[in-house]
Amino acid sequence: NKRKASYPLWPFQKEFLKELELGGKILVEKSRDLMVTWTVCEYQLWHMQFDPFWTGFNTSRRELEVDKGGSGSTTTSIFGRIRFSWKAQPPWLRMDIGFRRLKIVNEEEGMYTEISGESANPNVGRSSDVYFKWGDEFSFIEQSEKAHASMIGGGFHTLLYTSTSNLTGNEFYRLRSKKDSGFRVLRYSWKDRPDRDEEWYAKKKASMSAEQQAKELDIVYEVKGPRQIWKRFDPRLHVVPLNKIPVGVGYGVIAFDEGYATPGALYYARYWASTLYIIDEVYKANVQLLNPESLRDDMDHDWVWYIDDLIERHRSEEHTSELQSH
């Protein structure tokens, strides 16, 4: 809001900073607005200025979330938050640090600290041998299982993943659910902010959908209530029971939603008499229109081929009686 404020060192953040210093593999699941991202940025800035040989690597969903602007970066990015905090220090404390595109370097004599970064991809961080590796909002990264396989390669003292919930279809969820993943799971809730209470929670909850509440507030991975498929869609209103669909041949439709529903959704529908009736919508993990061989399970089908086959069958008059019987 175009103003500066002191960093609020809440008790849970002190605990979090101690965990970062301990190092190892750490996974942080959190509610929104706990300043966890800011805290990691402040942690990195301290090491940039006072730890001569410290190195870091940062990644997030998109490049602009890692660094938006280089030497003119804004606080909508990780590097921009580090730069903002660096500038806010008194001049006598501020070391000579250079901010370049996707790189921060301490240019003081005798200091060899630096942080590099890139957008998340299947090869992110693979060749990075650094002291501190960080994947922010890791549950929202595409092909997160490949990104994790790359991030865990190379050398590090600390490997940190932080994220709000993105339900179950991602590597962040799998790592926090496996007892043998090797990650320490830290959980920080909205309740950990001293300035928030049950009254605040009730007001916040009232303004959210069930999915938003699960992802951003309650840190849960199963949604209770209708999932949002697209704006204005509600299965309680728009899904039609089979016994209310007019009898007739029509066309059967299986549609796939990629990008809005997570982990994925299949829609069973029937088109008859100029009306499309949504019969049901089903969520399935790892559903892909075309599964590459590297991701295919033994029983996977390519849904696009299956849909083409259905259309051909529906167009064939010799199968009319078969369709009516179904």
How much is the pLDDT for 241?
A: 66
Cα dihedral 38, 39, 40, 43 sign: positive
Most confident of 208-217, 244-253, 278-287: 208-217
pLDDT at 308 over 70: no
- In this structure, how many other beta carbons lie within 10 angstroms of the beta carbon of residue 143? 16
With cut-offs at 50, 70 and 90, classify the pLDDT of residue 222: confident
Mean of per-residue pLDDT scores for the chain: 81
Q: Is the pLDDT of residue 259 over 70?
A: no
Average pLDDT over residues 236-248: 64
Is the confidence at residue 195, as pLDDT, over 80?
yes
Contact residues for 105 (Cβ-Cβ < 8 A; gap 6+): 97, 98, 113, 114
Structural contact between residues 181 and 175, judged by C-beta atoms closer than 8 angstroms: yes
What mean pLDDT is predicted for residues 130-157? Answer: 93
Lowest mean pLDDT among 118-122, 180-184, 194-198, 299-303: 299-303
What single-letter DSSP state applies at residue 139?
Answer: G
Q: Report the pLDDT value the prediction gives residue 153, as an integer from 0 to 100.
A: 86
Query: Is 223 strand, coil or helix?
Result: coil
Look at residue 211 in the predicted model and tell me its pLDDT.
84
Has residue 287 got a pLDDT over 70?
Answer: no
- 68-77, 159-168, 274-283: which range is least confident on average? 274-283
**Range 22-36 average pLDDT:** 97
Mean pLDDT of 141-162: 92
Cα torsion angle, 30, 35, 40, 41, sign: positive
Flag whether pLDDT at 29 surpasses 70. Answer: yes
- The token pair that represents 48 in the structure block: 């940039």
What is residue 278's predicted lDDT score, i.e. its pLDDT? 65
Tokens of 275: 């009306």
pLDDT at 326: 44
Each residue of 84-143: pLDDT tens digit? 999 999 999 999 999 999 999 999 999 999 999 999 988 998 888 999 999 999 999 988
CA-CA distances (angstroms) from residue 287 to 126, 225, 262, 279, 296?
Answer: 27, 22, 10, 19, 10
Between 227 and 73, the more confident residue is 73
Is pLDDT above 90 for 233?
A: no
Are the beta carbons of 9 and 39 closer than 8 angstroms? Answer: no
pLDDT at 21 over 60: yes
